[in-house]
Amino acid sequence: MYAFFFRLVFRRMDPERAHHLAFAWIRLAARIPVLRTFVAAALAPRHKELRTEAFGLRMHGPFGLAAGFDKNAAAIDGMAMLGFDHIEIGTVTGEPQPGNPKKRLFRLVEDRALINRMGFNNDGSAAVAERLAAREAVFRTVVGVNIGKTKVVPEAEAAADYVKSTERLARHADYLVVNVSSPNTPGLRNLQATESLRPLLTAVREAADRSVDGRRVPLLVKIAPDLADEDVDAVADLAVELGLDGIIATNTTIAREGLGLTSDPELVKETGGLSGAPLKERSLEVLRRLYARVGDRITLVGVGGVENAEDAWQRILAGATLVQGYSAFIYEGPFWARGIHKGLAARLATSPYATLAEAIGADTRKAPAA
């Protein structure tokens, strides 16, 4: 049914307008008590066996919404209503900014992919902190806060911008993500080099500890799929050295591999980050490499091209404790998370593993060579 609706309505609309329309519907449904109870009962049934714990946080399951869909923390309950077990909001920058000029989001329907160069359009850390502080949660869910650099802030002053966001947002975050991997802010991905990343993560850790009493906010870093393998290893080693809680692999790619011949070549040429199905293989590869390096010393979050339960299961077997998705939600619609949960529960039941935790990394442990 959604496929029919998508073809008839969303596909004919500009992708960013379609996003705003769907977003408004989700927010509206979550505000109407009878409706949201009904929708959550239909789309977010719980599977006890999928209960997950990651960096000390308990969740209904391992499957969450990746950053970028709810940049301003405006639809947390709506997304929980649709069955996501955790919601990562952001990327939020120190200061508000409009992002890149439109058009900046493109659908490659035949490839089940998206290209975006949104450029961190968001309300800024002060406004988002206020929204999170005022939120009266309807659904209990885990909220991650993903932070990035304000575009006008020079690379050399990046840490101060991240610290500003941390001071404002950490107390409202169940976990915090340092995003150094979006391709749409000039220079941002240079921060992945360990010489830059070490002081940045240290400063954010200290700022989080300073600004939150009585709780240690888990800190994660989100990396790009375009890193060379040695650089993936270097980030993994640094994360262990600094006692980071997690690594999110991966963000979108600037590569254009894995695309079929059917997508419009003009669209393929658009600059920006590619996400969805063509990213699947590389994201999985990076995840495997990370798990082979860090094992269970650091929690891994697998994201990039996850379309269905089998993909989510493969990420868990590769080493992910949590799995996230974004692009396939556009193509699959509101029943997406429900299907993933059902499929994961079925796979776990017929697997040799008694719990989801036992399955984490099982494939990579069997064949560790990357």
Show the tokens assigned to 299.
């929690």
| Window of 28-36, 113-121, 137-145, 188-196 that interacts with ligand FMN by CB under 6 A | 113-121
* Contacting residue, 93, 141, 192, 275, with ligand FMN by CB under 6 A: 275
Q: How far is the CB of 352 from ligand FMN (least distance, A)?
A: 28
Show the tokens assigned to 32.
């109407």
Angle formed at CA 80 by CA 75 and CA 83, multiple of 5 degrees = 135
| Window of 115-123, 188-196, 314-322, 353-361 that interacts with ligand FMN by CB under 6 A | 115-123
- Name residues contacting ligand FMN, limited to 198-257 (CB under 6 A): 222, 251-252
The reply on whether position 356 binds ligand FMN by CB under 6 A is: no
Q: How far is the CB of 369 from ligand FMN (least distance, A)?
A: 26
Q: Is 209 exposed, middle or buried (0-12, 13-18, 19+ CB in 10 A)?
A: middle
d(CA 237, CA 231) in angstroms, rounded, equals: 10
Instruction: Give residues with Cβ within 8 angstroms of 152, minimum separation 6.
Output: 95, 97
Cα of 119 vs its chain's centroid, Å? 16
Picking from 313, 301, 323, the residue whose alpha carbon sits closest to that of residue 362 is 313
State the DSSP H helix or E strand holding residue 232, giving kind and residue range, or none if neither.
helix 229-242
Number of residues this chain uses to bind ligand FMN (CB under 6 A): 28
The reply on whether position 30 binds ligand FMN by CB under 6 A is: no
String of contacts with ligand FMN for each residue 171-200, x by CB under 6 A: --------x--x------------------
* Contacting residue, 125, 141, 327, 364, with ligand FMN by CB under 6 A: 327
* Bridge partner list, 76: none
Picking from 186, 198, 204, the residue whose alpha carbon sits closest to that of residue 235 is 198
The reply on whether position 165 binds ligand FMN by CB under 6 A is: no
d(CA 116, CA 158) in angstroms, rounded, equals: 23
String of contacts with ligand FMN for each residue 279-318, x by CB under 6 A: x-----------------------xxxx------------
- Residues serving a catalytic function are 182
Contact footprint for ligand FMN (CB under 6 A): 66-68, 71, 90-91, 105, 114, 116, 118, 120, 146, 179, 182, 222, 251-252, 275-276, 279, 303-306, 325-328
